[in-house]
Homo-oligomer: A and B are copies of this chain.
Amino acid sequence: MEVHEYFMAKALELAKKAYQIGEVPVGCVIIRDGKIIGQGYNRRESQKNALLHAEIEAINEACTNAGSWRLSGCAIYVTLEPCPMCAGAIINARIGQVFFGSRDKNFGACGGVLNLFEENFHHKPAIIGGILETECTGLIKDFFANIRKSEG
């Protein structure tokens, strides 16, 4: 298995934890020197907090572990294309590379609705989308199909 698929599979494991507690299944890991230094999954509903997307939890943990707000040299793997808040946080933390699984045409800020990394800000991370896309998209579709079934 390629390194990108390996780390995206780790993010998918975290997304499944979100699924199990009734959250939109998104998971994230942050890598430095081949090691996971931050991870998280969406907990917005359960924690009643608009900030608690997977990426924010992972960046928070990575800053703590790195002892710095600068995550230069890090890569972030997230199962869903980051929203504007999370893409902005990635810029603020100077994360160098962004890998995501599923494209988000409704709220994505890495090409879905717009691309914050191509705008005139001081830091422009590299983006690669579509890593384990079938699995990442399938998990989210399955989640919403189950919600509709239970509401039906």
Count residues of chain A with CB under 8 A from any CB of chain B: 40
Residues of B within 8 A of A51 (CB): 56, 59-60, 63, 89, 92-93
9-residue interface stretch from A8-16, A80-88, A132-140: A80-88
Chain A contact residues: helix, strand, loop or mixed: loop
Q: Which residues of A contact B (CB under 8 A)?
A: 44-45, 47-53, 56, 59-60, 63-64, 67-71, 83-89, 91-94, 106-107, 109, 113-114, 116, 119-122
16 contacts between A and B (CB under 8 A): A49-B63, A50-B70, A50-B94, A51-B89, A53-B92, A84-B85, A84-B91, A84-B121, A85-B85, A85-B86, A85-B88, A85-B91, A88-B88, A107-B121, A107-B122, A113-B121
